[in-house]
Amino acid sequence: MRLRILLLPALAAITAVAADTNTSAAAKYRATADKLIDAALADDAGLARLEYLCYRIGNRLSGSSGLEQAVAWSAEEMKRAGLENVRTIPVKVPRWVRGRESAEIVAPFHRPLYVLGLGGSVATPAGGITGEVVPVSNFDELEKLGRAGVEGKIVLYDAPFVSYGETVIYRSNGAARAAKLGATAALVRSITPRSLRDPHTGATNYPADGLKIPTAAVSVEDAVWVHHLAQSGEHVQVHLEMEAHFEPDADSADVMGEIRGSEKPDEVVVIGGHIDSWDVGQGAHDDGGGVMAALEAVALIKKLGLTPRRTIRVVFWTNEENGGRGGRAYRDWIDKDVSRHVAAIEMDGGAEQPVGFDFAAESHQQVRFSPVFQKAMAISQFLKRTGATRIVRGGSEADVAPLFAQGVPALALRTVMTRYFDYHHSQADTFDKIVPDEFRRCTAAFALMSYVLADWP
């Protein structure tokens, strides 16, 4: 214990010296930072690419023709931007097909409900399911009802939005929990703080050895309404029909291109987002904005004639939404070269006003003594014009998580997310929700952080 007490002040002093050294070393990048930010804030090419992706290709669920069109188009766009070593990395992806779906109240009166099947759901039997609805606000209420109160009925999770991390468990695990108690189906209030009767989809999980029941998201307004009817003493009955099913795995691919490093080309800073989306809306914020900001960041570095010492690789990962196979395929593709990855940066939180970068770490101590974290802190001094100055401990995004698990420092470009969950996984995630100046600031932050990390002596 005494040794630890003696070491802590020494370690703190070393950390302080390292921070000062990094700040001093970063100073030489001020002029380059201004050039990159100026170029990004005046840029229209990234927005034009994002508009094409949204308006001409549209949503891009794994296994769909839309995704494969986006993959082929993205590779051509990387070539047009002058990137080197453009290629696709083959990935087998799940193919879940929504089919027709509908729901309506059939007692005590007839009214339609606005629903959207959850990704991975099974179908109802032919002709659908009709059952009394049992509303609950949380899992504790479900367990108190027990099998006697749930068996043969449709469970409705009317859980108010607290945060995505806290509330998404009802979408992920709600059907499985209800099935254990004998429910015939599950409806889940959309995971969003605001709604215009627009349901939000997303993946649900079934245990390998458990019963699978149909499950769908219901609009916030409908969830609250049905819950109120039940609380007032009505026995609400709903008829649900879903054709959802899986087909054999389909061929897809990650897309990548590079600016090769001038001195250490085998060392890599990888940046990107996921090219797939759900099968509704246009995938503008989730995650079209992320992939197009990453591509444009590298395109601007190339356009300005900047060649970093290390390689910057932009990757569009596939199948983030309902499988994560693209991130794992990339890790497997690089194999032993994972140790040569200096950092991995992903943007998957919408293209709103950026606030900074989360640094993935298991502990605060791991953050303090990370050389990459210290460098990111030093780089943040140049990001004031973008607003992305906050560098804090956080989690890694899904596609870079396999790299982080093998020791690669992972950062996530974070935004204010003020309206992100209004559109997330819904028909409303469309290009018109993108604010051009905010997208440009995301591009600027991506460009500066990736370039300086890749060029650091």
Please, what is the end-to-end C-alpha distance for the chain in angstroms?
38
Plot region of 254 (φ>0 → left; ψ -120 to 50 → alpha; else → beta)? beta
| Run of H or E including 258 | strand 245-259
Burial class of 100 by CB neighbour count within 10 A (0 to 12, 13 to 18, 19+): exposed
- Count CB-CB contacts under 10 A for residue 339: 10
CA angle 81, 86, 89 (to 5 degrees): 140
In three-state secondary structure terms, 376 is: helix
Classify 213 as helix, strand or coil.
coil
| Pair 431, 54: CB distance under 8 Å | yes
Q: What CA–CA distances, in Å, run from 33 to 249, 300, 443?
A: 44, 12, 13
Rounded CA-CA distance 449/52 in Å is: 26
Inter-CA distances, 64 with 30, 68, 199, 399, Å: 45, 7, 21, 20
User: Closest by alpha carbon to 313, among 267, 265, 257, 274?
Assistant: 257
d(CA 333, CA 353): 33
Catalytic residue numbers? 320
And the tokens for 357?
């970068």
What CA–CA distance (Å, rounded) separates 133 from 216? Answer: 13
Write out the DSSP string of 317-357.
E--TTTT-HHHHHHHHHHGGGGGGEEEEEE--S-SS-EEEE
DSSP character at residue 56: I
